[in-house]
Each structure stands twice: as structure tokens, then as C-alpha cells.
């Protein structure tokens, strides 16, 4: 909390504009920067704004590298609900980023442990994440780091909670189709990012946002660890702002 910069904006579109300003700054000062990206409905206005800014000549993604937070276990990259497909449809297919410069954990990996190690190694080889985007789940999860009694360090496999499965069923035909596990960057991977921007919109996120930045730092609210990161920007809309 001591270090967190907070911007309260009117609505999701304004959140998109404000968050895009941060991405524009980082990409302009380091054209081959590494950005950490997130899925979910919250970042969509940001992705639309980034696409518009590249079209307008304000940002150039040609040399940018990106690493996504997470992927469902068992979904192929072209599965309609996979996070790889989400990123292609909502951002990558509309900007100049090179396909080989975008990484998303492999939901089909047979050797999950070595895929996770390689994922971490690739990020490290690129020099680490310059700006990490985060949304938040209703239980305080970031990426797919669910409430636990410890903070998981590196990229790993997780079992999703009932709450997360329930929240994500809206994207699937039925709750039985929602994968029960996922691969996610760990809390340590996320905390290693040089800068973090968290975007939160909607009244349904108000309570968890309060716990995250104004409550105790605890693995029961995984996002609360952000209070200990030296460079976090929170952009939330008025509906989500808890004070």
C-alpha cells in the first residue's frame, strides 16, 4: 500500500486509456520491452486502446515481447476458450507483435514441470518482465494463483477453486466443460516484474479490492502480496473503488 499508486477512473473505457498510457511509456522508452499480459474481461478496453494506438502510430509492437500469466490445462492453443486463442483474437492478431515473441504456458504439455521451468527461463533470457498487467479474481487470485496457505513461487500447475470454476463457466457451454486445473506464473514470477499495473472494474470487485490493498498481506488473498512490490499502479473504476 505504501508504494501503490492509485488512479480512480469513471468507467472501464477510461481504465483502458489510463492503462494504455503506462504501456505506451514503457514501449516508447524500451521498444524491445517484455510485457506480461492477462486474460479475463477486465483488460479488454485496454487491448482495444492498444490496438487503436498502434493504428494511430503512437505505439509500435514490432520488437515487443510478451509473456502471458496463465493457461487452462488440457486446452489446445486453438481451442475457443484457451487463453492463447483469447490473446490472438483480442490483441495479437491486430498488432505488429511477432508470433515467436509471444509466449503463453502450454496447456497440453506432457511434462508440465519442465514446461514451467522453460517458461521461467524464457522470461529470464528476455531480461525479465518490464510491465506486468494483472486483473483480479473474486477470491483475490492473480493469474491463477488461488488462495493457499503459502505464496507459490514459480510457474506451476494449480487446481482451480469452485469459485473460479463458477466465475469462468460463463465462457463455456456448461460448467462441466470448464477445466479444473491450469498452469500459472507463480507469485514469485509476478513479483519479479519491474512494474505492475492492476486493472479492476465493477462493483462486484469492491470487497476483494479492499482486502487486497487495505487488508493484511496473506496468501489467503494472493493479490495482497502486491502491497510489498515497489512499483504497483492500481487503476480501478468508481464502482470498484472501496473507499
Binding site for ligand GLP (CB under 6 A): 38-42, 69-70, 135-137, 143-144, 164, 168
The beta-strand segments (E) located in the chain are: 5-9, 34-37, 65-68, 70-72, 102-103, 131-134, 156-159, 181-184, 195-200, 232-237
Smallest distance, ligand GLP to C-beta of residue 57, A: 29
Element (H, E) at 27: helix 12-29
Name which of 127 and 153 has its Cβ closer to ligand GLP.
153
Helix (H/G/I), strand (E/B), else coil: 5? strand
Q: How far is CA 87 from CA 3, 38, 129, 147, in A?
A: 30, 9, 18, 25
C-beta of residue 204 within 8 angstroms of C-beta of residue 183? no
- Told to judge if 70 belongs to the known catalytic residues of this protein, a careful annotator would answer yes
Name which of 66 and 164 has its Cβ closer to ligand GLP.
164
Name which of 61 and 144 has its Cβ closer to ligand GLP.
144
Smallest distance, ligand GLP to C-beta of residue 170, A: 9
**8 CB burial (10 A radius; 0-12, 13-18, 19+):** middle
- Told to judge if 141 belongs to the known catalytic residues of this protein, a careful annotator would answer yes
Name which of 47 and 144 has its Cβ closer to ligand GLP.
144
Smallest distance, ligand GLP to C-beta of residue 47, A: 12
Smallest distance, ligand GLP to C-beta of residue 28, A: 26
Which of 106, 141, 156, 237 does the annotation list as catalytic? 141
Name which of 2 and 180 has its Cβ closer to ligand GLP.
180
Which of 54, 139, 156, 237 does the annotation list as catalytic? 139
**66 CB burial (10 A radius; 0-12, 13-18, 19+):** buried
- Told to judge if 146 belongs to the known catalytic residues of this protein, a careful annotator would answer yes
Computed over its alpha carbons, how large is the radius of gyration of the chain?
A: 17
Smallest distance, ligand GLP to C-beta of residue 164, A: 6
Please report how the helices 44-55 and 12-29 are oriented relative to each other, as an axis angle in degrees rounded to 10.
50
The catalytic residue positions are 70, 139, 141, 146
Amino acid at each position: 500500500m505504501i508504494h501503490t499508486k492509485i488512479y480512480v477512473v469513471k468507467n472501464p473505457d477510461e481504465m483502458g486509456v489510463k492503462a494504455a498510457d503506462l504501456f505506451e511509456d514503457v514501449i516508447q522508452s524500451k521498444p524491445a520491452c517484455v510485457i506480461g499480459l492477462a486474460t479475463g474481461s477486465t483488460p479488454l478496453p485496454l487491448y482495444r486502446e492498444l490496438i487503436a494506438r498502434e493504428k494511430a502510430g503512437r505505439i509500435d509492437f514490432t520488437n515487443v515481447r510478451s509473456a502471458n500469466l496463465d493457461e487452462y490445462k488440457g486446452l489446445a492453443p486453438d481451442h475457443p476458450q484457451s487463453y492463447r486463442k483469447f490473446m490472438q483474437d483480442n490483441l495479437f492478431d491486430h498488432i505488429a507483435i511477432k508470433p515467436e515473441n509471444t509466449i503463453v504456458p502450454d496447456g497440453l504439455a506432457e511434462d508440465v514441470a519442465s514446461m514451467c521451468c522453460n517458461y521461467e527461463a524464457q522470461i529470464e533470457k528476455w531480461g525479465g518482465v518490464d510491465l506486468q498487467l494483472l486483473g483480479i479474481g473474486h477470491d483475490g487470485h492473480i493469474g491463477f494463483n488461488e488462495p493457499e496457505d503459502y505464496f507459490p513461487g514459480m510457474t506451476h500447475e494449480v487446481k482451480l477453486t469452485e469459485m473460479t470454476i463458477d466465475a469462468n463457466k460463463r465462457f463455456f457451454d456448461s460448467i462441466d466443460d470448464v477445466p479444473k486445473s491450469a498452469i500459472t506464473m507463480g507469485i514469485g514470477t509476478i513479483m519479479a516484474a519491474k512494474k505492475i499495473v492492476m486493472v479492476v472494474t465493477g462493483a462486484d470487485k469492491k470487497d476483494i479490492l479492499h482486502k487486497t490493498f487495505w487488508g493484511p498481506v496473506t496468501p489467503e488473498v494472493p493479490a495482497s502480496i502486491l502491497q510489498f512490490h515497489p512499483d504497483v499502479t492500481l487503476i480501478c473504476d468508481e464502482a470498484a473503488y472501496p473507499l
